[in-house]
């Protein structure tokens, strides 16, 4: 039976025991290489086509700016935002699917070689959840009730809501249609949170942190390595570094379990998405909770 992870080829067993490290890093740098190194070239080809096609297909719908982990298309300051949001959703799918595939092939290689000294000596157990487990993790009560989840969600959400209430919002030059608002809400409150928990936690905490920890034997080095990359790929580097470090410590304390960090990550991004949506409504003169001030922007040509 075909699965989400191998939707492009029937199950097959690897011929050569390529190290999990080579499979993980190789797939991260070259889409589809992880499956290919596991002797599943057709799966790798299909994954690469879907990942690259979705991400760069999204760039055709809107103006592109510098790369960010939540999409590299700009939201236009006037006119419709539907095309930009469609592009962002495509980019989210392509990028986070690539992140998950990197972890998945690494995970499978680790399980296949779990009896080797290298894997037995790794201080962080491999997360063994399937793609279904990853998708439902943010909604499982066991993940939500733990003290590793709700306090960080509450603390970060409180800070975000306060910051939103105090920050001036620039008025847009034109109104937005119902479709514009719906596509923006779908992107910010749906695609981005799902992508964060589905792709980012398995990659940064499940793969990178585990690999660096196993190679160096230093938890501090492992957390700094994954957090540095995690924060560089986000807009707010300082907050992302703090949250990424917390998630790294959490995963270590929970012996490799990614569930609670995926739940916290998801709901924090849902709050961010809701506030982004409220900001968009305020920018066109509509009501939104807390009603932060809206200011007009003027552009003067240089003399």
What's the pLDDT at 17?
A: 85
Stronger pLDDT, 16 or 251, i.e. the higher one: 251
- Rounded to 5°, the CA angle 190-193-194 comes to 80
The first and second tokens of residue 302, run together, are 């240089």
What's the pLDDT at 49?
A: 98
Residue pair 109/36 in contact (Cβ under 8 Å)? The answer is no
| Tens-digit pLDDT profile for residues 65-104 | 778 787 778 888 888 999 999 999 999 999 999 999 999 9
Of 4-8, 151-155, 159-163, 291-295, the poorest mean pLDDT is in 4-8
Mean pLDDT across the stretch 6-10?
43
| Closest to 34 (Cα-Cα) out of 92, 99, 124 | 99
Residue pair 88/58 in contact (Cβ under 8 Å)? The answer is yes
DSSP code at position 234: S
The first and second tokens of residue 217, run together, are 């034997």
What's the pLDDT at 30?
A: 98
Q: In the block, which residue shows the tokens 């939201």? A: 75
Mean pLDDT across the stretch 232-243?
90
Reported pTM: 0.90
Q: What is the mean pLDDT of the chain?
A: 90
Domain boundaries, the chain: 20-295
Stronger pLDDT, 250 or 165, i.e. the higher one: 250
What's the pLDDT at 16?
A: 58
Q: Is the pLDDT of residue 8 over 70?
A: no
What's the pLDDT at 6?
A: 44
């Amino acid at each position: 039976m075909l699965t989400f992870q191998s939707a492009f080829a029937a199950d097959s067993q690897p011929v050569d025991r390529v190290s999990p490290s080579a499979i993980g890093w190789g797939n991260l740098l070259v889409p589809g290489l992880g499956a290919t190194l596991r002797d599943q070239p057709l799966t790798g080809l299909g994954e690469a086509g879907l990942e690259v096609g979705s991400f760069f297909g999204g760039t055709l719908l809107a103006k592109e700016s510098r790369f960010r982990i939540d999409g590299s298309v700009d939201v236009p300051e006037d006119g419709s935002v539907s095309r930009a949001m469609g592009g962002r959703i495509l980019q989210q799918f392509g990028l986070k699917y690539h992140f998950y595939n990197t972890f998945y092939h690494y995970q499978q290689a680790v399980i296949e070689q779990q009896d080797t000294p290298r894997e037995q000596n790794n201080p962080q157990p491999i997360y063994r959840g399937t793609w279904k487990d990853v998708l439902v993790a943010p909604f499982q009560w066991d993940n939500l009730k733990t003290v590793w989840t709700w306090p960080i969600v509450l603390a970060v959400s409180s800070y975000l809501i306060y910051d939103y209430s105090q920050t001036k919002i620039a008025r847009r030059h034109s109104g937005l249609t119902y479709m514009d608002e719906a596509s923006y809400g779908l992107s910010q409150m749906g695609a981005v949170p799902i992508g964060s928990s589905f792709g980012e936690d398995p990659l940064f905490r499940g793969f990178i942190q585990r690999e660096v920890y196993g190679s160096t034997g230093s938890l501090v080095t492992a957390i700094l390595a994954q957090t540095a990359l995690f924060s560089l790929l986000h807009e707010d580097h300082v907050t992302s570094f703090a949250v990424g470090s917390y998630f790294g410590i959490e995963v270590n304390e929970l012996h490799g379990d990614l569930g609670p960090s995926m739940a916290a990550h998801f709901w924090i991004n849902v709050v961010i998405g809701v506030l982004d949506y409220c900001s968009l409504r305020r920018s066109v003169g509509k009501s939104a909770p807390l009603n932060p001030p809206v200011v007009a922007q003027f552009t003067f040509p240089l003399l």
